[in-house]
Structure 1
Amino acid sequence: MVTIATWNINSVRLRIDQVERFLSEQAPDVLCLQEIKVAEHLFPHDMFERLGYTHRAIHGQKGYHGVATVSRIPMREFSRHDWQDNGEARHVGVELLGPGQGVLLENVYIPAGGDIADRTVNPKFGQKLDFIERMTRWSDTLDRPTILTGDFNIAPLECDVYNHKALLKVVSHTPLEVETLTRLGDAHGWVDLGRKHIPAPERNYSWWSYRSFWRDKDQGRRLDHMWASPDLAQQSVTHRIVEETRRWDQPSDHVPLITEFAL
């Protein structure tokens, strides 16, 4: 059995104690982090080394974005794609070398897309759509068992947000974003493990704004995802949300997901 977790940590150095607590309590074999917000040479390696996560692939930059995959099982960095075509650190791919040998694990942080769902007045929204379109073309070429996980910044289903009608024009849940993400899902026959194991319309949120959290409102969205190639998806055994991290001191606005595979 191999457990793979994903978490937008919103600064790995600021929340290093939370990452340590999560790894100590949940002990996933592999953890994919997004929005690490640190250049590669300043990544806090010591804690991961101490806990046995001796294999690491880090694609970082100063102050913004960045992804890292840390593992207790052997792996090697396989790829870094610039799907936004602007040099931002938003992807790292690894190949598992021990248990699950040959499986590719793609860790991605899709752009949020700004506040206005119109690429003519908001270039960030267009960059988000183009990013996903490039991922779609890449997906068409895949011929190996692959896991695609991370912060997708889109809640695709009506039940993936607290109020579908209220958020139809809000970036992260607009019909155009959902359509674009659906094309990505279709390109490789990706299986959405979040909804395989927690079927719609069951509650399945991974992100809450800090403001709604302080108001004690359950106004969540399912922005974080774990997808798998069809054959690999059949080997997924469990999938869960570790929601208790939102009650920790100075939490991230995202919570971790963990999927267990029989590889």
Structure 2
Amino acid sequence: MSFTLATWNINSVRLREPIVLKLLAEEGPDVLCLQETKSPVDKIPLEQFAALGYHHIVARGQKGYNGVAILSKLPLLDAGDQDFATLGHARHVAAKLENGVTIHNFYVPAGGDEPDREKNVKFGQKLDYLTEMRDWFHANKPEKSILVGDLNIAPREDDVWSHKKLLKIVSHTPIEVEHLAQAQDAGSWVDITRQDIPEGLLYSWWSYRARDWDAADKGRRLDHVWATPDISNAGHGSRILRDARGWEKPSDHVPVFASFDL
């Protein structure tokens, strides 16, 4: 079984329904994992997605904030969710394909602007969330699994436009990178994007604050595709759809793709 998967922080699935439909029609991934849907599940506009062949959905939502959804052409079974750091947020959902592969879709907290948990509650919540992810993967060693999502951390020096300038900026601070690495190691997760594209600057997010995001190109790779070692060699074809940042009423994130032959 071969399938292509995409992950995308859509920043409101209802507001940006037109560009979700554009992606589905033009790129046709078998599975699309969305984060920050900002919608209760029953308000997600499913009819238009179904018209393009996406008849299956597993999702968790809440009004106006957070939210994760897995849209699929392939049959899915709901595989549950976890409320790491007991935030009461819709930030994780899992689904299982008929071939036995479990897909975890994550939206890790952004962490606010100040990288100091004493001054900024949101930063502490982010670190706690990652710590509980780590502990959960230690206790529930994943197998035949793919993890995707907006993890809100750009871990490598070449995942940001300036390693030196962003060392004290939330999403690239050493403590966040270390916490993400511990969660990754706990599940023995393989970074599929960097397995396929091992060298060079690579971004999936550009701030709305930049007047001309393309020319400035001050990006960060916040969106990730990981897989467990038992299936990581089946991953290939990774790419980031940079052009989507320039679509009408865009998200500040763009889709990240990978294919798997299993």
TM-score bucket (shorter structure): over 0.9
Partner of 2:86, secondary structure, is coil
CA distance in 2, matches of 1:222, 1:79: 27
CA distance in 1, matches of 2:252, 2:211: 9
CA distance in 1, matches of 2:87, 2:127: 14
Counterpart residue identity of residue 261, structure 1: F
* 172-181 or 231-240, which deviates more: 231-240
Once the two structures are superposed, the pairs formed by residues 74-113 of structure 1 within 5 Å of their partners are: 74-97=75-98, 101-113=99-111
Counterpart residue identity of residue 115, structure 2: A
* CA 213–227 in structure 1, closer or farther in 2 if over 3 Å, else same: farther
Match for residue 117 of structure 1 among 115, 118, 125? 115
Is 1:59 the counterpart of 2:57? The answer is no
Counterpart residue identity of residue 225, structure 2: M
- How far off its partner does 1:212 sit? 2.0
**What are the Cα deviations for residues 180-229 of structure 1, in whole angstroms up to 9, with x where unaligned?**
111111112110011101113x1210000012253531000000001100
Partner of 1:32, secondary structure, is strand
Q: How many residues align?
A: 259
TM-score, with structure 1 as normaliser? 0.96
Partner of 1:148: 147
Partner of 1:253, secondary structure, is coil
**What are the Cα deviations for residues 155-186 of structure 1, in whole angstroms up to 9, with x where unaligned?**
00111100111110000000000011111111
Please say if residues 111 and 125 of structure 2, whose CA atoms lie closer than 8 Å, have aligned partners that are also in contact. Answer: yes
Partner of 1:210, secondary structure, is coil
Is 1:21 the counterpart of 2:19? The answer is no
CA distance in 1, matches of 2:36, 2:9: 6
Match for residue 204 of structure 1 among 183, 202, 205? 202
Partner of 2:104, secondary structure, is strand
How many percent identity over aligned positions?
A: 51
TM-score, with structure 2 as normaliser? 0.97
Please say if residues 142 and 187 of structure 2, whose CA atoms lie closer than 8 Å, have aligned partners that are also in contact. Answer: no
CA distance in 1, matches of 2:70, 2:185: 26
Partner of 2:74: 73
Once the two structures are superposed, the pairs formed by residues 222-233 of structure 1 within 5 Å of their partners are: 222-233=221-232
Please tell me the root mean square deviation across aligned C-alpha atoms, in Å. 1.0
- How far off its partner does 1:142 sit? 2.0
Partner of 2:216, secondary structure, is coil
* 218-227 or 43-52, which deviates more: 43-52
CA distance in 2, matches of 1:26, 1:143: 29
Counterpart residue identity of residue 178, structure 1: V
Counterpart residue identity of residue 48, structure 2: M
Q: Where does the alignment leave 5 or more consecutive residues of structure 1 unmatched?
A: none
Partner of 1:7: 8
CA distance in 2, matches of 1:73, 1:130: 34
**What are the Cα deviations for residues 90-132 of structure 1, in whole angstroms up to 9, with x where unaligned?**
01100001xxx11100000000000111101111101001101
CA distance in 2, matches of 1:20, 1:41: 18
Partner of 1:249: 248
CA distance in 2, matches of 1:54, 1:149: 21
CA distance in 1, matches of 2:102, 2:27: 22
Partner of 2:134: 136
Partner of 1:44: 45
Is 1:167 the counterpart of 2:166? The answer is yes
Counterpart residue identity of residue 190, structure 1: W
